[in-house]
Amino acid sequence: MNSTVIEYIEGLKPAGHLDGRELLKEGMEMGRSIQSGKSRFIRESGYKSLLEYKKEIRKEGRIYWNILMGLATLEEQVEATKKLYEFSQRTGLIVDSIQPIASGVIALPKEYREKAPSTTSFIMDGYEDYKAQVEAAPIEVTFNDYHLASPSGLETTINAIKAGATLIGEFSQIIWNYPGYDDNLTRFSNMIRSLGIIASKHDEDVMVKTYLDDGYAGYFIDCSSYIGYAMLEHYICTTLCGARYMIAYGGLLSEGHTRTAIAMALHKALSTDEQPALHYINSSTNLQWEHDTHGNYGISVQELLMTILAERKYKMGLGVNPVSITEKIAVPTLQELVNIFAAGKRVEEKAPEWDELMDFSKLEAMRDVMVEQGKLFFSNALNGFLAAGIDINDPLEMILVLSRFNPLKFEQAFHSTTCNEGMAEIKPFYPTVLGRQTVQIREDEIAKLYKNGLKDALEGKKIVLASGDAHTYGLLLVEGVLSAVGAKVVNGGVDMDAVDALDLADEEGVNIVGISCHNGQALDYGRQLIDIAKNKGKEYFVFMGGVLNAILPGKSEPVDISDRLQTMGIFAQNDLEQLVRRLELLASL
C-alpha cells in the first residue's frame, strides 16, 4: 500500500484511550441489568421480535414497508402513528414499521442542546417520550437517527431498549459532528458501551442498524465500495462486538440496476439464515423535481416496482422505505407519506404479473463483481490499518480512526484501482449517480459562467466554504464552480459549527464565508453567524445555499426562509451565477 496512505492513517491513531474490549465488557454488564421492554406491536402480534417478524414475512413473500416520519411535535408524531394504523386497518395496506426522525438536538446531552441550531422535527427528552411512540399503535417503531453514534448515544440507546425497540442506529453516523460538542473520546467510548448493551441482548434479537448513505458511502463514486465499507462496519459490530447488524441504504442512488445489485451483493456477502443483513432500501430523491411535484410519482413508483420484484425473486428480507414526492423540498406531511406508501402498496398488488418477464442475469453479474470488489476493499482497509499500527481487534480504536478519516480519502485509499497506486483517480466499476450528477452540474455551471464572461471573475479571491450538516455534494459543487472562476477555496468540510466557520475564516485571513445547509437549520445557523460576527467586531460577506427552510413559531411545517436570511444581510439563494457576480462586485470595491 502507498506509503503516503500509511502515514496518513498513522496520523489518525488515537492516543490515551481506554481499551475498547474492556468498554465492551462494561456495556455487556450494563445490558444484563437493563430490562428490555416489549412494544405494543410485539405484545399484540405474538412475534418475539422485529427480526422474527421480518423473517416470517420474507418466507411468505410479502414486502416489508417502513415509513420515516418526523413531525414538528411529539404529540403530532404520536397522533400520526395512530392515523397510519387506522389507515392500514381500513385499507388493508399494512405499515410494518415507523422510523421516527426526531430533531438532531437529541443527539446532544441536554446541557448542550440550548445552543444548538434548532431543526424541523420533534424533541425527545426521555424514556416516556420513547414509550409514547411505541405504545401509540401496534406498529413497530425503531430508533435510529441521532442515537447509537451520537454524543448522547448511551442514554438514547438505553431509552430505546427499555421502551421495547429492537433496532438501534445509526452506526454510519460516526462521521457526523455536532454543534458545540467536541469530546469524541467520551462519545465513542459510550458508543462501545452501547454496542455492548446491544450485544448482551443478542438472544432477544436486539440489533445495530446502519444507514450507509449517512456515512462514508454518501461520498463514494463506486457502488462496489458500498459493499466493502458495509463489511468493515459488520466486522466491528459482529466480529469485534458480538452484536447483530442490519443495513439500510439507497437515498443517494437513483439507477435501478445499481440500487438493486447493491442489495443483492450485500445479501450475498453478509446475510445468514440466522441474521439477514438487509433492513430496507430508501427511495432516492436526487431525481425529484422541485416544481410540478406530481411528476415525481413516476420516478418513485418505478423504483418501488424494481425493489419489489427483486425481493420477490431472491427473498433477501429487503424492506422498502418510500419517500414523499415533496421530500426534496421540505419535511413531508403525514398525508404526503400516506400517498406515496399507498402508491407503493398498489404496485405490490400488481407485481406478480411481472415475475415471469424479469431476467436478473445482468444484475447477478453486477452482484458478483460488487462482492468480489467489496471483499478486496475490506481486505485493503484492514491491511492498511494493520500496516499503520492500528489495533484492528479494538473496536474503540477502529471507530476513532474511522471517525477521523477524511471521507473523500477513504475510498481512494482502499479502492482496488487506487490502493496500490497512490491517490490517483478511482476507476469505478459501477459509478454512483449522485457523484456523476454533481460533476455534470458542476461542468454545466462552469460552462455557463465561461460563456457569460466570468472565467476569471474571482481570480485571487479567497473564500471559506463549509457545510452546516453532514451533506457534502452541494459543498463540492460550489467549491468546484468557484475554483473554476479563479477563487482560492478553503473547504472546511461538513458538520461545521458557525463559530468554527468564522474562526477558520479568521485563520485564513478571509472575510467571505459560504455555508451549505439542508436539515432545516439555516435560520438558526444564519442568526448564529450574525451574532458571532457582531461579538467579534468583524464584518463578513456570508452566503448560504442548499435547502433554506425552517419551521417558524406557530407553524408545524417548514417554509422557505431565504427572504429572512437576506434581510439579516446574508446572500441566500442557489443561483451560482448571481453569487459569482456579487462576489466579483465585492472584489472590485
- Whether 310 and 354 have beta carbons less than 8 Å apart is answered as no
In whole angstroms, what is the distance from residue 199 CA to residue 28 CA? 7
**Amino acid (one-letter) located at 173:** Q
Q: What whole-number distance in Å separates Cα of residue 149 and Cα of residue 229? A: 17
Residues in a beta bridge with 571: 543
DSSP 3-state of 532: helix
Query: Using CA atoms, how far apart are residues 427 and 418, in angstroms rounded to an integer?
Result: 8
Question: Do residues 18 and 401 lie in contact, with contact meaning Cβ atoms separated by under 8 Å?
Answer: no
**Nearest of 176, 251, 245, 239 to residue 212 by alpha carbon:** 251
Reading the block at residue 573, the C-alpha cell is: 439563494
At 400, give phi and psi (nearest 5°): -60, -40
251: amino acid identity, one letter: G
d(CA 395, CA 23): 9
Contacts of 426 (CB under 8 A, 6+ apart): 221, 222, 411, 412, 415, 417, 418
**Euclidean distance between CA atoms 278 and 247, whole angstroms:** 5
In angstroms, the CA 384 to CA 228 distance is 14
Which amino acid type is present at position 464? V
Assign 278 to helix, strand or coil.
Answer: strand
421-433: pLDDT as tens digits: 654 568 889 988 7
Give CA 472 to chain center in angstroms.
Answer: 11
Helix (H, G, I), strand (E, B) or coil at 416: coil
Contact 194, 27 (CB under 8 A): yes
- Contact partners, residue 195, CB within 8 Å, separation at least 6: 24, 27, 148, 208, 237, 241, 243, 395
Neighbours of 243 (CB within 10 A): 27
Q: Taking Cα atoms as reference points, which of 176, 563, 521, 232 lies closest to residue 374?
A: 232
DSSP codes joined into one string, 450-483? HHTT-TTTTTT-EEEEEESSS--HHHHHHHHHHH
Residue 209 pairs with which residues in a beta bridge?
246
Q: In whole angstroms, what is the distance from residue 219 CA to residue 214 CA?
A: 9
Residue carrying the nine cell digits 452506526: 171
pTM of the model: 0.80
Name the strand (E) or helix (H) holding 329: none
Q: Spell out the domains of the chain, with CATH numbers in brackets.
A: 13-363 (3.20.20.440), 433-588 (3.40.50.280)
Calpha distance 400→14 (Å, rounded): 7
Q: What is the CA radius of gyration of the chain?
A: 23
Q: Whole-angstrom Cα distance, residue 103 to residue 179?
A: 13
Q: Which residue has cell 445499481?
A: 258
Burial class (CB in 10 A: 0-12, 13-18, 19+), 236: buried
Q: Along the 589 residues of the chain, how does pLDDT read in single tens digits?
A: 778 789 989 999 998 899 999 999 999 999 999 999 999 999 999 999 999 999 999 999 899 999 999 999 999 999 999 999 999 999 999 999 999 999 988 999 988 888 777 677 899 999 999 999 999 999 999 999 999 999 999 999 999 999 999 999 999 999 988 867 889 999 999 999 999 999 999 999 999 999 999 999 988 889 999 999 999 999 999 999 999 999 999 998 989 999 999 999 999 999 999 999 999 999 988 788 889 999 999 999 999 999 999 999 999 999 999 999 998 888 889 999 999 999 999 999 999 999 999 999 999 999 999 999 999 999 999 999 999 999 999 999 999 999 999 887 899 899 999 887 654 568 889 988 766 677 678 889 999 999 999 999 999 899 999 888 766 667 778 888 998 999 998 888 777 889 989 999 999 999 999 999 876 788 889 999 999 999 999 999 999 998 888 877 777 677 888 999 999 999 998 899 999 999 998 865 5
Measured CA to CA, the distance from residue 339 to residue 325 in angstroms comes to 9
3-class DSSP assignment, residue 116 = coil
Amino acid 431: pLDDT:
87
DSSP codes, 119-167: -SS----SHHHHHHHHTSSSSEE-B-TTSTTSTTHHHHHHHHHHHT--E
Number of other CB atoms surrounding residue 354 within 10 Å: 14
CA distance 405 to 249: 21
List the alpha helices (DSSP H) in 285-387.
Answer: 296-314, 334-350, 361-387
